[in-house]
């Protein structure tokens, strides 16, 4: 039995990876909005924060009523209770990854959670 899963993701509007990768500690989605398009709803979470990485293009997020410009290379962390909605710029598509994890659950990371074999 393999201890890893590898997949390839296309250019669908949204691809959620929890089932495809067998994720047990995070939800990750790959999102592609064409120019002028937006997520048609505002939402927030009860327990999970979201981390966004803008892969390409331009757009905006409306966060608790504040408009935040988004550009390729930007990273954005959003607290669970923040009301959010995303859209692409009128003249630019946007592609981004969203990582959703339980807020305040990180206990160890990087080297603290690793065993280095010699």
Fold of 14-103: Jelly Rolls (2.60.120)
Percent helix, strand, coil in the chain, to 5, is 5, 45, 50
What integer pLDDT is reported at residue 39 of this predicted model? 94
Residue 90 has pLDDT above 80, yes or no: yes
The Cα 111–Cα 86 span in angstroms is 34
**pTM reported for the whole predicted model:** 0.89
Neighbouring C-beta atoms of residue 2, cutoff 10 Å:
5
Distances, alpha carbon 45 to alpha carbons 25, 57, 98, 109, in Å: 16, 26, 13, 24
Identify the DSSP state of 41.
S
Q: Calculate mean pLDDT across residues 56-60.
A: 98
Domain limits of the chain?
14-103
Question: pLDDT, tens digit, for every residue of 7-46?
Answer: 999 888 888 999 899 999 999 999 999 999 999 999 999 9
Lookup result for tokens 């988004």 = 70
What integer pLDDT is reported at residue 115 of this predicted model? 84
| 3/60: higher pLDDT | 60
Residue 1 has pLDDT above 70, yes or no: no
The Cα 56–Cα 1 span in angstroms is 36
The Cα 6–Cα 41 span in angstroms is 31
């Amino acid at each position: 039995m393999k201890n890893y899963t590898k997949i390839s993701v296309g250019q669908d509007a949204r691809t959620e990876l929890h089932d495809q990768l067998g994720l047990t500690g995070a939800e990750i989605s790959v999102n592609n909005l064409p120019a002028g398009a937006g997520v048609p709803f505002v939402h927030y979470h009860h327990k999970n924060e979201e981390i966004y990485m803008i892969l390409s293009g331009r757009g905006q997020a409306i966060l608790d009523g504040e408009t935040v410009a988004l550009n390729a290379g930007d990273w954005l962390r959003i607290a669970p209770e923040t009301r959010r909605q995303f859209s692409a710029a009128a003249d630019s598509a946007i592609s981004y990854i969203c990582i959703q994890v339980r807020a305040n659950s990180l206990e160890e990371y990087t080297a603290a959670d690793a065993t280095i074999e010699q």
